[in-house]
Structure 1
Amino acid sequence: MAMKRKLLSLLLLFLSVSAFSATISGSRIGANEKSSGFFVEAFSTKGRVLYKTVKFDEKGKFTLDFPTSEALIYWIDNFPVYVLPNQNLDIILPERKTGAFLIGGPADQKATSPAMLVESNMKMNGKSEIDNLLINEIHVAWADLTKEKKETLSIKDIDQQYENEVKLINKSKEPGLVSTANFYNDMRYMELKLQYLRSHPSIKVDKNYFNILDKISLNNPAVNSLKAIGLRSLVTNYYTFSKVSQGADIKEDDLADNGSVGKMELLIKKVNNERLINEQLSQIIIYHLSINGWDTDLDKIMLAATEKTTDPAVKQNLNDLREKYSKVSKNALAPDFSMPDASGKMVSLNDFKGKIVAIDVWATWCIPCMHSLPYFLKLRDKYKDNPNVAFVSISTDNAKSKDKWLNFLKSKNMNGIDLHAGDEKSSSFEKAYNITGIPRYILIDQQGKIIEDHAPQASEPGFEKLIETALKSK
């Protein structure tokens, strides 16, 4: 009896697992077992639930079986396909061809370009494409509109495209799909309206132009079906379109800033979608810290973000970042460092006690650094006779590139305080000061406290102004 119950339990378990599964099979035109495979991704409230590389067999066919109890959008080779549990789909991926083009030199000297899709759409065997490929149809239709119209695109064209997609969506009888498809259509509509404003900055629109904002919610369940890049684009476009609707200039730096404090506040105040909070809010904060460092305004945001975050790993990371960056922020005691100069002599921050220390963190391979470095050197020369300020250039070139750094110093006649952070003898300068990008400028006062850990670039007037202010307060 016990054995029968055990067998029955195993049977029920097997049936419960197999009862909720989606099988996607198909082929790619012109593919075989030597053809490159493709990625398949799927997302839900938990984030990415499927990430797999699918290979072709000798006939260019493939099969993917994924157990799931919910309808999902599968991003198959970047094509969104709506799939219900227990569905068996047979799809045909468009052909990819590798072209060849001249890269200069003799006519027979050629290089191959990356594989490109021959068509922009996929097909399906045996089922109506109005359901499973509806989301993809929306993507393709909006993309085609921008390609076809280009410079002649008008607001009327955008409105007409939106209505065309609404009519197409209404042909579907699947409620969940209709809701998701409407969200995608609304999202693309807003995106193209925003693009139109960017390309026509002088045009005046009335308040009705922004009515689509009333239909779009960042808490819509369909948000969870987006890829990570789609989430980031959605938040940026929604924030920008919303601010412009309130009278903001579309060219404002805040609207183009990936680490915008305004975006953080938007997510904290208006969004309850866990995936957006756990993924996007933390990414915006990380970007802000890497570019701007820590400030007191961010402290309140970090506390609110940590409280709202539900993923333990993300929550811990935010706490770690808060501790890490707040230690090297305005008015904090600057961490000491010790590293060699061009002659090999070790130089430390303590050597500059009682002086304002202006630091330029750079590298020979960094193009933006090369643009700003001459301004720093010009200032260093300007203040060379001032005993109250020291200009220190710190190269992050690694140990293998030390000779390149030394040769660069000679070629530019740099004979001031020039240090090498990539040397094995150096302290962990980059880690201590959270150097995540260069050029990076740091100003330290006479008491060894940080004036600015992310100071303006030396090419900007604000850099020298901070030095002058510090000198006057001595």
Structure 2
Amino acid sequence: MNTKRLMLLFLCIGLFSCQEKKENSFLFTLQVEDPNLEQEYSIHTSSFGTEAAYSFTLDENGSYATEVKVDEPKTISLSGNFYKPLYVTPGKSLTVKVKMDDKTPVFSYEGEGAVYPQIFDQLATLDQEFSDKYEELDHRQYSLDWDTFKQELDELTEKKRTIVETKTNNLSKDFEIVLEAHLFASKVNEMNLYGSYYNAYKKEEGEADFSVPGKADFYSQAFVFDAKALASAEFSNLISSYVTSKGIDQLGDLGDTPWYSIPDNWSKIYEFTKTNKNIPDAYKAYMLGSYVSSLTMALGIDGAWDIKEDFVKSYPNYNQVDQINAAYEKWEPLRKGNVAPDFEYESLNGEMVSLSSLKGSVVYVDVWATWCGPCISEFPSYKALKKRLEDAKDVKWLYVSVDEAKDKEKWVNFLAKNELDGIQLFGGNGWDTSITEKYQIRGIPRYLLIDKDGKIHSSNAPRPSSGDIIYDEIQKLRGVRLERATSLK
């Protein structure tokens, strides 16, 4: 899935023409010209947490209007049957009109705030044209040699700059900062994507990884921008990536174990970022807040809690602290020692199997899907782990697929082709499968470790690729005394 598309989540609603505009909000209206379009929508005004600031239903005419609170210029997001990011400014009005063209949403805008999404849409169109130009190549523009790619990217950036320069004469200095940051981050992100594609698909055997020229200076160049640039979604994502991009380099040699499979590495990266004097204070709270807000997805609430508490104490005045605390509160039922929320799905042989029916055994749950590359990449390590525990009759290996119902045959064929044993369950409702809500699953793979009493040992257990780490955890739950010290290398 295109990374830049995934970044886009947006907002649309407001215009009360008879209302007085307020300086800490803007008036928003959404109008949808398609009777078959999804009627339920959500507006997110915060980068952190999954809770929508506004949820609403369109009326019989496909419209809705509201006053949306925003204290400063920022990018917000609207989600429903489409996904749209919008830059908005307090005190402005914005009407977003949507018309479906062969299942593709086409947007138009009215109101004082219309110029902002209009400019970003023009820039996005240039990006799409750049990609479509190389549609016949295996990896589109990333199939080009570096010199050709860089020349084409420079030309694209100049086209964007021309649009910006002709549109910003009467716009605020803040928005000029946002646009400049957006152009910079878009170019950097494209170059980084080129490097990723090259190393994944084009690198010849024995060849060293391709390093994008000038990459070492990208972040120092980004830090020169005024912090108002964070209102650009493209730029804020680039800034956030610093934490793991630079933090990983401090971890040393990890051997064959992926860095993210070792729980201690997450706290080490946090401490590295917090104490890093190269990061301007204007950015540090945002970067750490973004990192901490997503940490439960990597460590669960027990593993992430102390880091979150340190962040809240260190940055009590950060404007997203309340949202971060609220996001963590949703994980409280998933703490170690709580009864594991039950679920029941159909197995490969057609029987209904529940988690609670496995009480009395240690249960290692793998939430995955046939389309998930990172899930599949864990299977060799998974098989090695099960091989080490092949005599452990008190351990159950439970897989839950969150594929869509239409892909059930694909799931069955995948299991046969890859010779996956264990208890295979089919959720059949994609992200609406109940396990995703009960266990706060927003990304896969995700692993759960349940003890013999049916209680949570870890709501985000180590991956199979963690090797000794997950092996030792399972053995402890079985009551097996380890014959060696736990390896956390």
1:328 aligned onto 2:325? no
- For 2:232, the equivalent position in structure 1 comes to 227
1:96-245 matches, cutoff 5 A = 103=136, 117=156, 119-120=158-159, 121-122=161-162, 195-196=215-216, 222-223=227-228, 226-234=231-239, 236-237=241-242
1:52/1:284 Cα in 2 relative to 1: closer, same or farther (>3 Å)?
farther
Q: 8 Å contact 1:340–1:423 — kept in the other structure?
A: no
1:308-319 mapped onto 2 (5 Å cutoff): 308-310=317-319, 315=322, 317-319=323-325
Measure, in 1, the Cα distance between the counterparts of 2:137 and 2:240. Answer: 42
Q: Is residue 2:270 matched to residue 1:261?
A: yes
* TM-score, structure 1 as length reference: 0.51
Identity of matched residues, %: 23
1:297 Cα deviation (Å)? 0.9
Q: 3-state SS of the aligned residue for 2:330?
A: helix
Larger Rg computed on CA atoms: 1
In structure 1, what residue type is equivalent to 2:309?
K
Q: Are 2:408 and 1:405 aligned? A: no
Does residue 449 (structure 1) correspond to residue 464 (structure 2)? The answer is no
> Is the contact made by 2:292 and 2:308 (CA closer than 8 Å) also made in structure 1?
no
CA contact (8 A) 2:96 2:110 kept: no
**Match status 1:391 vs 2:400:** no
**3-state SS of 2:88 partner:** strand
Which residue identity lines up with residue 162 of structure 2 in the other structure?
M
Shift of 1:65: 8.4
In structure 2, relative to structure 1, the CA distance for the partners of 1:73 and 1:386 (3 Å cut) is closer
**What is the deviation of 1:287?**
2.2
Output one character per residue of 1:40-96: Cα deviation in whole Å (capped at 9) or x when no partner.
Answer: xxx983424358889xxxxxxxx998489xxx999945999xxxxxxxxxxxx9xx8
Task: Please list the CA deviations of residues 164-215 of structure 1 after superposition, one character each: whole Å capped at 9, or x if unmatched.
Answer: xxxxxxxxxxxxxxxxxxxxxxxxxxxx9983379xxxxxxxxxxx9x89x9
Unaligned runs of 5+ in 1: 1-12, 18-42, 55-62, 81-92, 106-113, 148-191, 199-209
Residue 438 and residue 49 in structure 1: after superposition, are their counterparts in 2 closer, same or farther (change >3 A)?
closer
Taking the aligned partners of 2:157 and 2:274, their CA distance within structure 1 comes to: 43
Structure 2 counterpart SS, 1:390: strand
1:467 positional shift: 1.6
Q: Is the CA contact 1:359–1:392 (under 8 Å) kept in the aligned structure 2?
A: yes
Of structures 1 and 2, the one scoring higher in RCO (CA 8 A, sep 6+) is 2
Aligned residue in 2 for 1:49: 88
Q: Judging changes above 3 Å, is the alpha-carbon distance between structure 1 residues 309 and 398 closer, same or farther for their aligned structure 2 residues? A: same
Residue type of the partner of 1:49? V
Distance 1:52 1:355 in 2: 56
What CA RMSD, in Å, does the superposition of the two structures yield over aligned residues? 6.0
Task: Return the offset for 1:119.
Answer: 3.9
Separation in 1 of the partners of 2:362 and 2:232? 47
Per-residue CA deviation, residues 221-246 of structure 1 (Å, 9 max, x unaligned), is 653574133234345559988x89xx
**Cα distance change, pair 196–435 in 1 and its aligned pair in 2 (3 A):** closer
Residue type of the alignment partner of 1:195: K
Residue 27 of structure 2 is matched in structure 1 by none
- Check whether the contact 2:240–2:291 (CA below 8 A) recurs between aligned residues: no
Distance 1:439 1:77, change over 3 A: closer
| Partner secondary structure for residue 353 of structure 2 | strand
2:472 equivalent among 460, 465, 471: 465
Q: Which residue of 1 aligns with 2:54?
A: none
Q: Quick check: 1:265–1:301 contact (8 Å CA) kept in 2?
A: no
C-alpha separation in 2, matches of 1:354 and 1:385? 16
Partner letter of residue 233 of structure 2?
A
| Closer/same/farther in 2, CA of residues 300 and 341 from structure 1, 3 Å limit | same
Could you say what secondary structure the match of 1:330 adopts? Answer: coil
Moved more, 407-416 or 431-440: 407-416
What secondary structure does 2:413 align onto? helix
| AA aligned opposite 2:317 | K
Q: Find the aligned partners of 2:73 and 2:180 in 1 and give their Cα distance.
A: 26
Compute the displacement of 1:379 (Å).
Answer: 3.7
Residue 464 of structure 2 aligns to a residue in which SS?
coil
Question: Are 1:73 and 1:225, in contact at CA under 8 Å, matched by a contact in 2?
Answer: no
Q: Which residue of 1 aligns with 2:294?
A: 287
Counterpart pick for 1:351 among 357, 371, 394: 357
Scaled by the length of structure 2, the TM-score of the pair is 0.50
Q: Distance in 2 between matches of 1:442 and 1:436?
A: 14
2:360 maps to a residue whose letter is G
Q: Distance in 2 between matches of 1:410 and 1:445?
A: 29
